[in-house]
C-alpha cells in the first residue's frame, strides 16, 4: 500500500464526489423544472414519482389508487431503508394498506442526496436517452466497485489504467463540458486530510458497520483476556496473603513463647531477690548473672517485637512483585554479552545451517516484512498484508497469530515474551504497539510524532529507538511522552541499537553512491554520527555477542565488522546458497542463533562451538 495507490483512490473519489454527484443532481433539477415542479420536494411528492420509488423500495403491493401501475418496476439498483427515510416520512394514511398514500415527501434538498440515491431517482423518474442511462449505471457501478467496498483506500495502477478512460467517456456522455473538470483532477497530489474525508464519505455503510463490529468483537476479546488475567492475579494475591498470615501466626506464637520464658525468668529473679539478705556474698554474683539473663531476655523480646512489626508492615504494603504494580515493560535482557570470550576472525564463518522453513506454507503466501527469534527459541513474523503477527516454534510447529489493526511492518523483542511492533494504520500516522506473545493481547500503544515506519525499530535498555526525517527518536518506555530527538543529516533505515551506539543506513533518495554505501552509527558517548563506507549498500544489520557486526548488503553478501568498527571483511560463504542473497537478518544471543531469510526460505544458523 504505497502513496501512489492512495493518490489514485483520491483522484477517482474526487471525480465521483466533485464532478459526477453534482452532475446527477443538476440533471435531476433540470428535469423537474422542465416538468413544471418548483422544488425537489414537490417533484418527489408527485403521484408518479412517489408511486415509482415506493414500489422500488417495497416491491409488489396493491395501493388504494393507481392499482394498474402497482407492480415492481425494473430498477437497476435497490432503494435502501435509510434512503427511503431520507426522502419520505410516514403520515396518517388514507387507507390501511401498505400504500404510498401513507407517506409524504420531506423538505429534502438536492445537496442532501448522494450519488447512489440520485442515480436511482435519475434513472427511474427522469427522462433519459439510452446512452445516458448506460452512463449513469456504469458510473454508479464504478463507484461501488472501486470506492464503496474498498476498505484499503487504494487503487492499483492496473485497475486505474482500465478505469480512468471509462470515467472520462461516461462523464462526457452526460455533459461534455465536464470533461475538462475531470482531467484537471487527474494529476491531483495526495492530500491526507482530503483522502481520509473522501474515504469516509464513499465507504459503504455496510462496510463501516462490519468494521465497527469487528472492532467490537476484538474489544470483547481484549476484555475477556483482561478478566482472565485479573482472575489469575487475584488468586495469586490471595495465596500470597494466606502465606503472609501463616507467617504472622507463627511469629505471634514465637512471641508468646518468648514472653512465657521471660515471665519464668522474672519470677526466678524475684525469688532470688527475696533471699538476697540471707545468702552469702558469693550468691550475690549469682544474682548478677541472673540479672544479665534478664537483660538478654529483654533484648530477645525487643528483637522479636521488631521482627513482628516488620512482618506486619510488609503484609500491609502493596505487593511490588505483582504484575499490577509493575511497569508493563520489564528491563530488557542485554543481548550484547560483551564479556563473552568469543573472538571470531573477521570473515570466518561462525555459524552452520541448523534448520530451514518454507515461508509460503508457514504464512499461507503472505508477505513477511520482519522476523525475530525470542529467547525461548520461538519465531515472530510480521505479516503486513494479513494484518497479523505469526508465532511458531523454530521447527515451524505450534503456529499461532495475533491479529493487528493495521499493517505490522517491523518489530523488536523487549524481553522473553514482549515485542514492540511498528504498525501502519490506514490514513493515519504509524504507531508503536507492545504485545505480550503469551497472552496474545496488546499492552501499550505509543504515538511517536514524526516517526517513519520504514526506518525500523530497535531497543536499548528501557528505550525504543525509531526514526523520522533526519532524526533518531528515543522513546522512554517507563516515562510517558518522554521522547528524545537526535538530529542527523539523513533519514535512517535498518535501525539497530547495540551497546552505546545506534547503527543505521542512509535512506537512498538523493544520496550519492558513497553515501548509500555507508554503515552509519550515532555514539552516545561521543554525541555524534560517524560512518564507514562498505563495498555495497547495507541492507540489514545485526550484532553478535562479542560486539562485532554482521551487515547484510544489497548485493547479497555479508560484511563482518570488528567491535571497534575499524576493520571490515566479507564473510566467506563458500558458495552456500543459505548465506547468499538474503534480505532479512537477525540474531538472538540467548539462543546463540542467527536467522536469515533467503527469498522464500528461512534459514536458521547455530553458532559453532
Looking at the whole model, is its pTM more than 0.75? no
Report the run of H or E that residue 539 belongs to, with start and end.
Answer: strand 538-543
When pLDDT is cut at 50, 70 and 90, the band that residue 322 belongs to is very low
Q: Could you give the CA distance from residue 350 to residue 450 in angstroms, rounded to a whole number?
A: 39
Q: Could you give the CA distance from residue 472 to residue 7 in angstroms, rounded to a whole number?
A: 28
At which residue does the C-alpha cell 489469575 appear? 232
Same domain, 112 and 261: no
The answer to whether position 591 is within a domain reads yes
Cβ-Cβ contacts under 8 Å for 196 (sequence gap 6 or more): 427, 428
Query: Which pLDDT score is estimated for 251?
Result: 62
The answer to whether position 551 is within a domain reads yes
When pLDDT is cut at 50, 70 and 90, the band that residue 248 belongs to is low
Q: What CATH number is given to the structural domain containing 370?
A: 2.130.10.10
Of 291, 308, 325, the domain-final residue:
325
Same domain, 321 and 395: no
Of 203, 233, 263, the domain-final residue:
203
Q: Which residue has the higher pLDDT, 287 or 77?
A: 77
CA separation, residue 275 to residues 280, 289, 295 (Å): 10, 15, 20
Domain count, the chain: 3
Same domain, 381 and 475: yes
Same domain, 188 and 266: no
Contact 403, 386 (CB under 8 A): no
Contact 7, 14 (CB under 8 A): no
**Segments in 59-156 forming alpha helices (H):** 81-87, 115-125, 130-143
Contact 577, 598 (CB under 8 A): yes
Same domain, 401 and 494: yes
Give the pLDDT mean for 405-412.
Answer: 92
Give the pLDDT mean for 155-168.
Answer: 91
Q: Model confidence over 468-526: pLDDT tens digits? A: 989 999 999 888 889 999 999 889 999 999 989 999 998 765 556 788 899 999 999 99
Closest CA to 423 of 395, 458, 457: 457
Same domain, 521 and 387: yes
CA separation, residue 603 to residues 60, 328, 366, 400 (Å): 66, 33, 18, 20
Report the run of H or E that residue 264 belongs to, with start and end.
Answer: helix 205-274
The answer to whether position 273 is within a domain reads yes
Q: Which domain holds residue 263?
A: 222-325
Q: Give Cα 166 to chain centroid, integer Å.
A: 38
**CA dihedral over 117, 118, 122, 125, signed as positive or negative:** positive
Q: Which residue has the higher pLDDT, 478 or 244?
A: 478
Amino acid at each position: 500500500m504505497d502513496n501512489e495507490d492512495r493518490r489514485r483512490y483520491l483522484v477517482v473519489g474526487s471525480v465521483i464526489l466533485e464532478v459526477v454527484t453534482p452532475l446527477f443532481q443538476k440533471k435531476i433539477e433540470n428535469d423537474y423544472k422542465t416538468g413544471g415542479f418548483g422544488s425537489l420536494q414537490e417533484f418527489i411528492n408527485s403521484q408518479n414519482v412517489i408511486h415509482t420509488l415506493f414500489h422500488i423500495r417495497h416491491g409488489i403491493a396493491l395501493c388504494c389508487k393507481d392499482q394498474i401501475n402497482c407492480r415492481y418496476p425494473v430498477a437497476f439498483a435497490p432503494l435502501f431503508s435509510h434512503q427511503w427515510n431520507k426522502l419520505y416520512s410516514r403520515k396518517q394514511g388514507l387507507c390501511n394498506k401498505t400504500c404510498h398514500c401513507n407517506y409524504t415527501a420531506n423538505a429534502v434538498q438536492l445537496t442532501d442526496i448522494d450519488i447512489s440515491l440520485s442515480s436511482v431517482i435519475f434513472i427511474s423518474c427522469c427522462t433519459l436517452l439510452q446512452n445516458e442511462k448506460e452512463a449513469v449505471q456504469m458510473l454508479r457501478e464504478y463507484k461501488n466497485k472501486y470506492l464503496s467496498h474498498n476498505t484499503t483506500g487504494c487503487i492499483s495502477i492496473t485497475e486505474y489504467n482500465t478505469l480512468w478512460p471509462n470515467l472520462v467517456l461516461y462523464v462526457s456522455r452526460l455533459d461534455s463540458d465536464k470533461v475538462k473538470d475531470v482531467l484537471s483532477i487527474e494529476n491531483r497530489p495526495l492530500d491526507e486530510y482530503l483522502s481520509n474525508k473522501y474515504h469516509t464519505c464513499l465507504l459503504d455503510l455496510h462496510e463501516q458497520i462490519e468494521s465497527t463490529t469487528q472492532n467490537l468483537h476484538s474489544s470483547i476479546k481484549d476484555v475477556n483476556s483482561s478478566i482472565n488475567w485479573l482472575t489469575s492475579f487475584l488468586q495469586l494475591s490471595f495465596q500470597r496473603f494466606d502465606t503472609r498470615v501463616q507467617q504472622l501466626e507463627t511469629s505471634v506464637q514465637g512471641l508468646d513463647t518468648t514472653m512465657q520464658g521471660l515471665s519464668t525468668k522474672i519470677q526466678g529473679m524475684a525469688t532470688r531477690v527475696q533471699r538476697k539478705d540471707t545468702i552469702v556474698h558469693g550468691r550475690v554474683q549469682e544474682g548478677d548473672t541472673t540479672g544479665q539473663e534478664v537483660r538478654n531476655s529483654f533484648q530477645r523480646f525487643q528483637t522479636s517485637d521488631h521482627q513482628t512489626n516488620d512482618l506486619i508492615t510488609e503484609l500491609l504494603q502493596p505487593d511490588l512483585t505483582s504484575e499490577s504494580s509493575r511497569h508493563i515493560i520489564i528491563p530488557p535482557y542485554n543481548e550484547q554479552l560483551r564479556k563473552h570470550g568469543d573472538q571470531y576472525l573477521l570473515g570466518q564463518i561462525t555459524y552452520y545451517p541448523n534448520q530451514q522453513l518454507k515461508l509460503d506454507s508457514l504464512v499461507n503466501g503472505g508477505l513477511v516484512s520482519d522476523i525475530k527469534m525470542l529467547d525461548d527459541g520461538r519465531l515472530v513474523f510480521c505479516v503486513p498484508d494479513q494484518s497479523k503477527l505469526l508465532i511458531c516454534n523454530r521447527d515451524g510447529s505450534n503456529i499461532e497469530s495475533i491479529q493487528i489493526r493495521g499493517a505490522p511492518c517491523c518489530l523488536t523483542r523487549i524481553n522473553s515474551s514482549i515485542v514492540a511492533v511498528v504498525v501502519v494504520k490506514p490514513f493515519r500516522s504509524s504507531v508503536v504497539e507492545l504485545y505480550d506473545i503469551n497472552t496474545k493481547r496488546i499492552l501499550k500503544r505509543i504515538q511517536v510524532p514524526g516517526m517513519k515506519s520504514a526506518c525500523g525499530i530497535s531497543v536499548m535498555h528501557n528505550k525504543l529507538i525509531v526514526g523520522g526525517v533526519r532524526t533518531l527518536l528515543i522513546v522512554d518506555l517507563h516515562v510517558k511522552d518522554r521522547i528524545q530527538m537526535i538530529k542527523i543529516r539523513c533519514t535512517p533505515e535498518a535501525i539497530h541499537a547495540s551497546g552505546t551506539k545506534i547503527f543505521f543506513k542512509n535512506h537512498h533518495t538523493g544520496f550519492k553512491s558513497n553515501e548509500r554505501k555507508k554503515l552509519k552509527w550515532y555514539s552516545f558517548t561521543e554525541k555524534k554520527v560517524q560512518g564507514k563506507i562498505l563495498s555495497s549498500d547495507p541492507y540489514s544489520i545485526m550484532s553478535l555477542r562479542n560486539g562485532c557486526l554482521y551487515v547484510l548488503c544489497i548485493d547479497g553478501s555479508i560484511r563482518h565488522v570488528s567491535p571497534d568498527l575499524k576493520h571490515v571483511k566479507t564473510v566467506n560463504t563458500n558458495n552456500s546458497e543459505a548465506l547468499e542473497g538474503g534480505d532479512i537478518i537477525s540474531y538472538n544471543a540467548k539462543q546463540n542463533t542467527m536467522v536469515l531469510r533467503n527469498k522464500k526460505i528461512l534459514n536458521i544458523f547455530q553458532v559453532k562451538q
